[in-house]
Amino acid sequence: MSANETTTDTRELQRRDSAHYMHPFTDTKALSAQGARIVVRGEGVHIWDSEGNQIIDGMSGLWCVNMGYGRHELIQAATKQLRELPFYNSFFNTSVVPAIELAGLLAEVTPPGFEHFFFTNSGSEGNDTILRMVRRYWDIEGKPKKKTIIGRKNGYHGSTVAGASLGGMSYMHEQGDLPIPGIAHIEQPYAFTLGRGKAPEDFGREAAGWLEAKILELGAENVAAFIGEPVQGAGGVIIPPPGYWQEIERICRKYDILLISDEVICGFGRLGRWFGCEYFGFKPDLMTFAKGVTSGYQPLGGVAVGERVASALIGRGSDFNHGFTYSGHPVACAVAVANIRLMQREGIVERVAEDTGPYLRKRFLELGDHPLVAEPQTCGMTAGLVLVRSKSHNEYAPFDAEDGVGMVCRRHCFEGGIIMRAVGDRMIIAPPLVMSHAEIDLMCGRIRGALDRTADELR
Ligand code: PLP
């Protein structure tokens, strides 16, 4: 068979995959030895692989297919726009109708004070944009020394040079001499390891205090902004303790530091509010968004620019020398408009808050009786648990890193028809927001089955 011929044969696809396709975040040698799982179709909350296996997508693709697969409204919006105008740019005093519409719609669904929106292709580019915006802002304000941005260890803000630097993933920093200068990190508010034996509110105050300590160390006159995900997603669904975000906000205001909420995962309903900052009750100056804005049907990200920064950039700065060919891409924007309208029509955010989120919590917390499971937690439609070797009361014996327990469990999940992600010894999910009660039941049943098989294998 010639390499150019289309095939559906799994072995041949795997051979071609490992011959030519460099995957993101992948151990290529291991992938070649195993062969990739090739996903060919999706419908509702399910995907199918090339072998015909039907699998519940517990991760919404990559935290993005919030409205589920096969939504005709989104497919139609894309095809209609492709026919009408597949591309035009927004540089040099031009604009396109879908980008105008999307910006207006975002002004409706974002918290008060957000009236301006910059479009990118991804969350990473959104955070690159923010880094440049924040530094430009302080220049315009006449405080050019205020340049350092503080992020958190184990935070994830993307894979571009700025995104990976703002993030706190040490395994990313090790490659490519990151972080770039002008970025600092504080500890994450992870109660399971850092807050043991402490009252949650005390730990919330303590964890936010690490920001104040870092600001004092660097000098507030040098600090431009703090960036964080409302719930740290890729770091393992780390749900902050009560009071944490209010205290972070208070500290940012005290030292005149911009507050950036990276809403790439939490935005667009994941926590049962349109944006994660609304769930936790704080008011950021800037928000990054991506993923759920189009339910992943088209690549689109961006920055919601709050009044304070917008009035400086537009009013006094006026020119911002930054942008991408595909900023405001008409097809991506048309899909985002259709996706937000679909979310509004189906009342999906309210449904997560009042119905499916609480139901997921009930079912997911039941997994806490499994001998391998410590501290299952949910927040809206995302959840995480820790795999432990043994437990008694609140004492846990961890697995050794060499056991690779997360990866073992992840394999059993795949084989049992449920996609869960492993982050070290944490197992996490972020299923489509449209998941029904019956599908939540099925998902939690499959997770329990995978936990049983993991326990059998490691016993
Ligand atoms: N920010 C957060 C919180 C993310 O979770 C991600 C991706 O997972 C990004 C930024 C980067 O987005 P992208 O992969 O679209 O560049």
The average pLDDT across 266-275 equals: 98
Structure-token pair, residue 18: 């490992």
Dist. CA 178–CA 160, nearest whole Å? 11
Mean pLDDT lowest among 15-29, 74-88, 413-427, 435-449: 15-29
Strands 39-43 and 46-49: antiparallel
Extended beta strands in 72-170, E state:
114-120, 148-152
Site of tokens 């998902």: 443
Q: How far is the CA of 290 from the centre of ligand 1 (A)?
A: 7
What would the pLDDT profile of 62-75 be if each residue is shown by its tens digit? 999 999 999 999 99
What would the pLDDT profile of 173-229 be if each residue is shown by its tens digit? 999 999 999 999 999 999 999 999 999 999 999 999 999 999 999 999 999 999 999
Which pLDDT score is estimated for 394? 77
Q: How far is the CA of 449 from the centre of ligand 1 (A)?
A: 30
What would the pLDDT profile of 341-361 be if each residue is shown by its tens digit? 999 999 999 999 999 999 999
Q: How far is the CA of 289 from the centre of ligand 1 (A)?
A: 9
Which pLDDT score is estimated for 1? 60
Q: How far is the CA of 142 from the centre of ligand 1 (A)?
A: 31
Dist. CA 306–CA 137, nearest whole Å? 12
Kind plus residue range of the DSSP H or E element containing 130: helix 123-140
Site of tokens 């960036």: 227
- CA nearest ligand 1 atom 9, residue: 158
CB-ligand 1 contact for 236 (6 Å cutoff): no
Mean pLDDT lowest among 25-34, 216-225, 441-450: 25-34
The average pLDDT across 234-263 equals: 98
Report yes or no for ipTM above 0.85: yes
Beta-bridge partners for 395: 392
Ligand 1 test: best mutation among 62, 64, 65, 124, most atoms within 8 Å of CB?
124
Helix intervals (H) in 296-436 = 307-310, 330-346, 348-351, 357-365, 405-415
